[in-house]
Amino acid sequence: MKVFTLETSLWLPQPATNVFAFFADAANLERLTPPWLHFRILTPSPIEMGVGTLIDYRLRYRGFPLRWRTEILAWEPPHRFVDSQIKGPYRRWVHEHVFVERDGGTLATDYVEYALLGGALTNALFIGRDLERIFAYRRQRMLEIFGDTA
């Protein structure tokens, strides 16, 4: 199974405690997800976040309805957390979120490891580019939410 990686970082003019608190509210994931994915959280709110928390979502990808279940594998406020898809479109999806205070703000970094049916061809034709678009949208929304002093 071929595993692909995605890494993206963004400096935000807020302390790590503020940035982590935003991510600790699962409802905010809808604010960071592009509207073209029609993303909705199915798990009733409020969701108590921590190791072992399960969150169910639904979305549409290229017109296809998908269900996704995430489990929180690591929860270390305000520095990092890790979520993993246990049901969904990927053969493997592990997403580590890291928050490091730097230069009067927080460097927020996403590390994603994923594998999919169709391997390299599917990644090259669709998934890789779409993930870049999704994370570009996410970065833009984070700048709007937390402020951009650059």
Sheet strands (E) in 62-147: 64-76, 80-87, 92-102, 105-115
pTM: 0.92
Please state, in angstroms and rounded to a whole number, the distance separating the CA atoms of residues 115 and 4. Answer: 6
pLDDT at 122 (0 to 100): 66
Q: Cβ(112)–Cβ(6) under 8 Å?
A: yes
- Residue 47 is given by DSSP the state P
pLDDT at 108 (0 to 100): 98
pLDDT at 71 (0 to 100): 98
In CATH, the architecture of 4-146 is 2-Layer Sandwich (3.30)
pLDDT at 138 (0 to 100): 96
Residue type, 139: R
- Across the 150 residues of the chain, what is the mean pLDDT of every consecutive 10-residue run? 93 97 94 95 95 97 90 98 95 97 97 85 72 95 83
CA dihedral 11, 13, 16, 17 (to 10 degrees): -150
Q: Which of 104, 106, 111 is nearest to 143 (CA)?
A: 106
